[in-house]
A and B are shown apart, each in its own frame.
Chain A
Amino acid sequence: MHIFPFVVVAWILGVGLYGIVTSRHLVHQIVCLIVVQSSTYVLLLGVGYRTGAVAPYFFDVPVHTPAVDPVVQALALTDVVVEAAVTALLLALAVQAQKRFGTLDPQELVQLKG
């Protein structure tokens, strides 16, 4: 249990990268990029966790209850929303690429010129 969450993070990262490298469709690559980004959220929350602690919200528990780290949660929170907007931008690029080049296969796009 001491390093198991971080091993899972490494697994998700590796699997996502494998998907990006061996993909034959740009949108499939974008979804694998989403998976890679999700590994960073798990890592952030895993770093901030404290055994036996509650969530850092003190409207119903006394203020000195042991709570998990709120700073990494704030980072992960804004991360999730911004990732969606960046994914939308990537999707727009994929749509325009299909109009320009007619194909969405990344291994063929490399060879197209002009």
Chain B
Amino acid sequence: MTDPHLLAVVTPYTIPVPLMDVLQVTVLVLVAAGATAVVLVRDLPRQVIVLSGYGLLLAVLFLVFQAPDVTLSELTIGAVALPMLLLLALAKIRRREK
């Protein structure tokens, strides 16, 4: 197996490995911070919006891990569909609590 730190083929789309490392570490730290933020917010509608932002961060992470398909999925689901479902359920629950 060749040394994984050498690029065998250079295409128009590849980023040099050290820059990719920095990018990945940054986004990983942001994702960890985002997960902590989602859990620590206790007020529910606010938590749903933070979840939507966390979904966006995850989508960027998947893109940096060279997985555009998973990015598309996570973006549509985690940033749009899941907060929509949660807010609809919350609307029903809040009306009952009144």
Contact = CB atoms under 8 A, between A and B. Distances in A.
A27 B89 contact: yes
A27 B9 CA distance: 48
A70 B28 CA distance: 21
Interface size class of B (residues with CB under 8 A): 35 or more
B91 to A, nearest CB: 10
A109 interface: no
Interface SS, A side:
helix
A87 B82 contact: yes
Interface string A68-97: 100001001100110110011001101100
Contacts of B7: 52, 66
Contacts of B24: 1, 5
B68 A45 contact: no
A72 to B, nearest CB: 9
Interface residues of A, number: 57
A20 B69 CA distance: 29
A38 B35 contact: yes
Given A27-B44, A27-B90, A62-B9, A99 B96 contact: yes
In order of increasing CB-CB distance, the 3 nearest A-B pairs are A19-B39, A91-B89, A80-B73
Interface of A: 1, 4-5, 8, 11-12, 15-16, 18-19, 24-25, 27-28, 30-32, 34-35, 38-39, 41-42, 45-46, 49-55, 57, 60-62, 64-68, 73, 76-77, 80-81, 83-84, 87-88, 91-92, 94-95, 98-99, 104
Interface of B: 4-9, 11, 13-14, 17, 21, 24-25, 28-29, 31-32, 35-36, 38-40, 42, 44, 47-48, 51, 54, 58, 61-62, 65-70, 73-74, 77-78, 81-82, 85-86, 89-90, 92-93, 96-97
